[in-house]
Structure 1
Amino acid sequence: MAMPTNIGIVDTMIGFPAEDFKMYDFIRAQLKDPSAKFDFPVEYMFKNVPKELYGSKDPISLTLHEMDRFGIEIAVIGAGGDVSTKALKDHPDRFVPMGNVDPNRGMDGIRDMVRQHETYGVRAFGAFNAGYNPQIGISDPLMYPIYAKCIELGVPIFACAGVPGPRFPMWPQEVRLIDQVMYDFPELVFVTRHGCEPWEDLAVKLMLKWPNLYYSTSAFAPKHYPEAIIRYANTRGADRIIYAGYFPMGLSLERIMTDMKSVPFNDNVWPKFLRDNARKVLKLGA
């Protein structure tokens, strides 16, 4: 049950410490509670956010250094922007690009998905339904062209599910909404992000029901992984749970990997959780 070493971890959510915190302005613009407008919009949820890393003159080297410290072979990063573009160009063996979607853009957004796929070779798209302005539910008709295009391009979608950290309404990310999407798009590979709480038991039920539904552990320190998810991984769900971190957005890799040693996964779960399931979903090969 001990966490193995030298496994070549795939981290399905990592980033680079930016020059400042302007990257979160799109979230702050929607917040009404003045007490919620931190540098990092969900700072109230995390201890020791690694803010001291922001402003680095060489954020790519910094992230690579942290990856090497903790055995992360490949990391999924957002496509677009000067830093990410340079990272993908200089280190194609270490970074995998993920595109973004915005259902409020209509067909312009769909055409942009194709552009991202052709320009960066994205292997997945990410959705933040509670964070769209205006908000759009996971099963809203405006999302359906996005799901169809993901299938057409042969890539999964990673979507935040559960109560969002920023202090705005949660309804767009209720886990029950995923059921209708999987019914309407059985070919879609759908990976949840950010915990699915407080509906993690429902998330497990839906994974039992839908073979293309997965769960990733982004934005959670491992000591807080839901018991239902650990139990599912150790029984019927070893092939469906995917590791994702949250560096440097809210957690240091040191915090994540220190906590990880205490997670009670069975021996057969570890390689699938840390590497194999992500490689399968992202089509990274053996």
Structure 2
Amino acid sequence: MATVTRAIDCLVNVSMVKGDKPPDWMVRVKEDYFKGGESFLKDADFDQLVDEMDRLGVRRAILTSSVRDGAASKAREFVEKAPERFSLGIGGFDLLRPMKTVRVLSETAANAPVSYASVGPSFWGDGNYPASDAVYYPLYTKACELDLPVTVNTGLPGPPLPGEAQNPIHLDRVCQRFPELKLCMMHGADPWWDLAIRLMGKYANLHLMTSAWSPKRLPESLLHYMRTRGRNKIIFASDSPVLSITRTVTEASRLDLEPEVLDAYLYGNADRFFFDGGGDR
């Protein structure tokens, strides 16, 4: 087992439930897909989260936040308390209102430490808008102007939602039309792992994040890619509390990876891609 000396967790949820009651799909994915306990739906405690990160060598975490929550989100509170440890991954864009999307992304990035903008094709518009659809183009264009990465859910979603829109093949056209765009597939790419690997070999700016995937369940084809041509392409994330930081970092440390490959996966690739090599500043 390799020793983990440093890591960046690129997807942590500090508040899973908006409002008084979680949506039915979230309860179903907790119980049927992840077999999650009650902690799955609980808000994070700041001190407990920092303590867990310190114990595991996690130097920074990117916290999910919606533009609909504005400055009042719990993630924003955590960032304000410890900006050296936390930044934001922003989602919840109204992509059918392109000028509103462009303005809110610009305003948010100007007023908070934003590490990426995030979209989930299966989770809005009834799953009818794959990432190659023109409704995303204003977001991609503004992200290029801001030099801000975009993360896109790929692979079949855990909730009972249509999954075809999250086939990685849709990113082929995106990468061809926006070669400047820093793009990261999020939540793995099951069952299209080999296609995702082929696309990463084709496009320099395309990466993959293993959020919501137990490291010990990652396919051998991806691990082989990490050991060979893709050692700079794969980025660690837990999706805590869906999967805990403790579980995912511990399992990652037990993967059959050389120390420099493990360090790239847990820290170096995220540091370069999301923080321009300044993740410890």
2:248 to 238, 244, 256: 256
Q: CA deviation at 1:197?
A: 0.8
Deviation at 1:24, TM superposition (A): 8.2
Residues 37-52 of structure 1 correspond to what in structure 2 (within 5 A)?
37=25, 39=27, 41-49=29-37, 51=39
Instruction: Give 1:122 deviation, angstroms.
Output: 1.2
TM-score by length of 2: 0.89
Q: Give, in whole Å, the separation in 2 of the partners of 1:229 and 1:144.
A: 29
Is the CA contact 1:75–1:95 (under 8 Å) kept in the aligned structure 2?
Answer: yes
Distance in 2 (alpha carbons) for counterparts of 1:125 and 1:22: 23
Specify the alignment match of 1:91 in structure 2. Answer: 82
- Distance (whole Å) between structure 1 residues aligned to residue 193 and residue 112 of structure 2: 33
Any residues of structure 2 matched to 1:236-275 within 5 Å, and which?
Answer: 236-248=229-241, 250-275=242-267
Gaps of 5+ in 2: none
C-alpha change, 1:40 and 1:23, in structure 2 (3 Å) is: farther
Across the two proteins, how many residue pairs are aligned to each other? 271
Residue 198 of structure 1 aligns with which residue? 191
Is 2:10 aligned against 1:3? no
Q: 1:223 is matched with which residue?
A: 216
1:173 aligns with 166
Equivalent residues of 1:50, 1:252 under 8 A apart:
no
Asked if 1 retains the 8 angstrom alpha-carbon contact of 2:185 and 2:208, the reply is yes
Q: For 1:137 and 1:24, locate their aligned partners in 2 and report how far apart those are by CA, in whole Å.
A: 29
Q: Provide the C-alpha distance between the structure 1 equivalents of 2:162 and 2:81, rounded to a whole number of angstroms.
A: 40
SS in 2 for 1:236: coil
Give the deviation of 1:40 after TM superposition. Answer: 6.2
From 50, 71, 76, give the equivalent of 2:57: 71
Task: For residue 6 of structure 1, give the secondary structure of its aligned residue in structure 2.
Answer: coil
Q: Which residue matches 2:147?
A: 154
User: How much has 1:259 moved relative to structure 2?
Assistant: 2.0
CA contact (8 A) 2:126 2:162 kept: no
**What percent of counterpart residues are identical?**
28
Going from structure 1 to structure 2, the CA distance change for 1:52 and 1:78 (only over 3 Å counts) comes to closer
TM-score computed with the length of structure 1 as normaliser = 0.87
Q: Aligned partners of 1:24 and 1:159: how far apart in 2?
A: 26
SS, match of residue 12 in structure 2 = coil
In the alignment, structure 1 segments of 5+ residues that lack a partner are 29-35
C-alpha distance in structure 2 between counterparts of 1:184 and 1:52, whole Å: 38
